[in-house]
Amino acid sequence: MRLRVLQLGSPTGLYGAERWILALIKYLDPEKIETIVGVIKDDPHLEAPILAHAQGLGFKTVAIEAYGRFNVKAITLLRNYLKQENIHILHTHGYKQDLVGFWATRGVPTRIIATPHGWSKEPDLKLAIYEGLNRLVFLGLDKVVPLSRELYQGLTGIPGLKRKLRLIVNAVDLAEIDAVKEVPEVVAKKRKEGFFILGYIGQLIHRKGLDVLFKALAKPGLEECFLFIVGEGPLRAQLEQMAKDLGVFERVIFTGYRADRLNFLRGFDVFVLPSRLEGIPRCLMEAMGMGKPVVASDIEGVKDLIPKDGEGGLLFPVEDSNALSEKILLLKENKLLAKKLSEKARKIVAQNFSAERMAQEYQALYQEVWEKSSSR
C-alpha cells in the first residue's frame, strides 16, 4: 500500500528542521510513500521557503492559513485537509505543529508522528509553557522520534512515554553537499586579502553561543581571522553591538539568511559551532560532510558526531572563549592536523549519518504505525 504522508514544518525560514525535512523526503521510496509538505501560515507576510524548495523537488505542498500566534482555526483547517486528502500519516516538526497536529488528528484515521529537533536552553516563560505542553502532548501521539540520544534520554523521564519513543538519528544529504563547488565572491575576496576564514551557519539565538565566538575572535592571535555569520535571528542587533564593543566588527560579516549557505560553507577554512545545547546539529553534519575542519562545544549531541576531541573535529568546554580561540589558532597554524580532521569528519558522516539510511528507517516506521492502526 502506498501511504500518503504530510510533513508539517515551519513557515518562518529554512533552518535545520526544514532542511532536515527536505533531506528526508528526497530519499523516501515514491512507490511506497507519497509525500506532501505543509506549513501552518500564521502571518500573511511569511514566504514559507520550505514550500518553494519542496515544489522545486517535485512534491505537492499546502499552506494552512490561520493568522495569529495561535489560531484555533488551524486545527479545523488541518483536520479538514487530512480527511479530504486521505492522509495516512501526519509527521510534525516543532511545538506549534505538534500541538495543532495532535488536536487535528482527534477523531480521524490519520496517525501522527512527531520529531523533536531540540529544546531551548533558557526559554522565556511563554516558550517554556509551550514546550512543556509539547512534551505532554507527546503522550497522545502514535510515535515520538527524537533525532539524538540526548533528546531521547530527556524524554524517557516522562511517565508512559518511553513505549512511544523511537530513536532515529539525524542525517544529512551528501549529494546536495557534493554538488556545491562555487564560493561567494565576498568570501573569496577576504581570502585574497590574506584572512583565515571562520564561519557559522544557523539561527542567531542564545543557545547557539555566538557571544562566546565573538569573545574568542577578540583574543590575541586571531587578528588574521575573518568571521562570516550566516543566518538570521532575534539577537542580530545585540550581536552586532557586541562585535563593535569587542573591537572585532570590522572582521565580521552578518550575511542574514542565505539560500546559498552551502556555498559559504565551501569557502570556510574552519566551521565553528559554539552552542550551549544541541540535538545532533545539522549544520555541523553538513560541515563535516563537506570535509571542513570543525571546532564545536563539548556537549551532548555534538559528541554523537565528534566522540572526543581530535576525532573528526576539535572540542572545547562550553562557554570557554579562551579554549575556543586556542582550538581555532591550532587549526590555523597546523594544516596537517586540519587535513587529517577533515578526512575523518567526512568518513564519520558518510558511514553513520546519510539521509538514505534515515529515510529507510522512517519509511519502515510509517508503514509500521499505519499497519498497527489498521489492525485495530
pLDDT at 190: 98
Task: Give ∠ CA 200-289-47 in degrees, rounded to 5.
Answer: 55
End-to-end CA distance of the chain: 17
- On whether the 3-171+354-374 domain is CATH 3.40.50.2000, my answer is yes
In sequence order, the β-bridge partners of residue 112 are 90
pLDDT at 127: 62
pTM tops 0.85: no
174-352 matches 3-171+354-374 in CATH topology:
yes
pLDDT at 157: 86
pLDDT at 151: 86
3-class SS letters over 54-79 = HHHCCCEEEEEECCCCCCCHHHHHHH
Look-up: residue for cell 524524554?
Answer: 155
Widest distance between CA atoms in the chain: 67
pLDDT < 50 positions in the chain: none
- 310-360: pLDDT as tens digits: 999 999 999 999 999 999 999 999 999 999 999 999 999 999 899 999 999
Look-up: residue for cell 495561535?
Answer: 70
Question: Cα–Cα distance between 119 and 4 in angstroms, integer?
Answer: 29
pLDDT at 123: 61
Write down the domain spans for the chain: 3-171+354-374, 174-352
Contact between residue 214 and residue 247 where contact means Cβ atoms under 8 Å apart: no
Write the Ramachandran bin of 319: left for phi over 0, alpha for psi from -120 to 50, otherwise beta. Answer: left
pLDDT at 135: 81
pLDDT at 36: 98
C-alpha cell at 141: 501521539
pLDDT at 128: 67
CATH top class, domain 174-352: alpha beta
Counting every residue, how long is the chain? 376
pLDDT at 373: 85
Question: Cα–Cα distance between 203 and 300 in angstroms, integer?
Answer: 19
pLDDT at 136: 86
Contact between residue 141 and residue 166 where contact means Cβ atoms under 8 Å apart: no
